[in-house]
Amino acid sequence: MKESSEAYVAGLVEGCRKGQRASQKKLYQHFYGFAMSICLRYTSDSDEAQEILNDGFMKVFTKIHTYQAERPFIFWLRRIMINTSIDYYRKKPKDVYSIEIEEVRSISSSEADAISEINEQDLLKLVQDLPPSYRTVFNLYVMDGFKHEEIAQKLGIHVGTSKSNLAKARKHLQKKLEILEKIKQ
């Protein structure tokens, strides 16, 4: 099954390299859910996510010749969707949210228990409700495994700002989780 799926994707990629619209459509449909899940994490609503998704797939189709077939396509696609999300974030006004450097706080075990109690959709909504600067850093650090130095470079901010935004995102999520915990009791 896995081999046939990889062969299917390889065939679609080859068709995209040849400029075949049918292959582009099938590749888009095949990876729509995966790509949308990434975009949704970086935006506040599905309209923004759809815009990023479409921009990301335009990059996929125009840069398909740079894809190296010896690596899994899904990792290349993931990177493009993350970078497109970051590009979208960069276009937004940055002075909307003031950023202060403060000590980084980690999520306690009781907060982790609260996270395990809520479903994926609720958690996605909580992340989407974060201010854009907090949401972007949170996603890059927690969900996508980037280091603060990498985040700072990608976003054009200081390392301390990245750490501060992560701490504030966690604090914001903690407060929301506490509210959900009270509601469920």
**Calpha distance 8→116 (Å, rounded):** 36
Q: Dihedral sign, CA of 157, 159, 164, 166?
A: positive
In the numeric block, which tokens belong to residue 19? 């400029």
- Residue by residue, pLDDT tens for the chain (185 residues) are 454 688 999 999 999 999 999 999 999 999 999 999 999 999 988 999 999 999 999 999 999 999 999 999 999 999 999 999 999 988 876 544 433 333 333 433 444 444 455 677 778 888 889 999 999 999 999 989 999 999 999 899 999 999 999 999 999 998 888 887 777 76
Q: What domains does the chain contain, in order, with CATH numbers?
A: 2-91 (1.10.1740.10), 109-184 (1.10.10.10)
- Quickly tell me which residue has 């590749």 as its tokens: 27
This prediction's pTM: 0.71
- Quickly tell me which residue has 């995209």 as its tokens: 16
> 28 with 53: CB under 8 angstroms?
no
